[in-house]
Amino acid sequence: MNSTEIFSNSGQLNWDAINTLSNIVLVLALVLITGWYAYEVRKQTRLMTKDRERTKVLEEVQDVLTPAIDRIESEIDAIQNKKISWHRYTSGGCGFSSRIGRLFYSTQYGAVQSLFDEKSSGALKDILNKFSDLNRMFPSHDFLIDELNQFYEEIEKEIKTPELKERLEEMTKEFNKEKSAPYRLTGERIENAFQFYGEYLINLEYTIERSPNSNEPHIDFWEENQDELLKFRDKPHIVEIHKQLSRKLIQLKKLDGELLKKLLEIREEYRKEYNFINNEIEPFRGV
């Protein structure tokens, strides 16, 4: 029996066969349309989920990864170029300049500048949950910062003596007597010379530099009197602490290098997966 015979019987159309075929075609079309619709729904759902994920991941990049990368890069530079500046605040607390510091806030070391707020953001928690290496490396970094801070406090105790205070008062007065007004010490350099120049002595890992073509009496004073002032830190205990401090800085720089590599890898993976542009990854670069 051929197809003609199926659809006709003695010259008459076989409506039963035609209806059966039509039903088959309609069912097949319905299946295809339903399948296509289900596919589109799944596709749109995936896109919406991806978009929500992208927003969340972008927060991780902007609030955690990029700030941490900038801080670690700055810290490495400060160690390499001897720009680590430690300070005793009028509140009584102490800590480092913005180029070096803790990543997490600590109530014990509240005066030490921290990159992240006291209450960790959701983005920070998400990052630490996803990447266990960071959950180990971040606290290790902060532990080294705390040790360095303690070393500087010990050096401070050794350097800031009544003898240094008395001698600085004499030296600053003598310096100003010999200078004309524009070249005299003013402000805290004369009123609180003990605090100001005491920290020059404490900061063994900071190179004092003069700004080009500038009048800087406080540096003039230091250059003229540093030989005598440096004798106040020429003590066996300070020498020993400085050795320990130097070893800790080597450890910190090594850890910073590993941490920087990990952070950059994570950010690059995110950039590729979510098609982030440079302005999204580093929104304040060049501003």
Q: pLDDT tens across 21-67, in order? A: 777 877 787 777 777 666 665 655 555 556 678 899 999 999 999 99
Q: Per the confidence metrics, is the pTM higher than 0.85?
A: no
pLDDT of residue 254: 98
What is the distance between the alpha carbons of residues 57 and 268, in angstroms, rounded to a whole number?
12
Model pLDDT for residues 70-111, shown as the tens digit of each residue: 999 999 999 999 999 999 888 788 888 878 999 988 766 655
Q: What is the mean pLDDT of residues 140-160?
A: 95
How many C-beta atoms lie closer than 10 Å to residue 267's C-beta? 20
Q: What is the mean pLDDT of residues 149-154?
A: 95
pLDDT of 172 higher than 70: yes
Q: What is the mean pLDDT of residues 119-139?
A: 88
Q: Locate 113 and state its tokens.
A: 């500048």
Q: Locate 127 and state its tokens.
A: 């990052």
What is the distance between the alpha carbons of residues 220 and 227, in angstroms, rounded to a whole number?
13
Kindly list the domain boundaries of the chain, sorted by start residue.
3-48, 54-281
Instruction: Count Cα neighbours of 96 within 13 Å in the Cβ-side half-sphere.
Output: 30
**Residue 20: band (very low, low, confident or very high) from pLDDT cuts 50, 70, 90:** confident
User: Average pLDDT, whole number, for the chain?
Assistant: 86
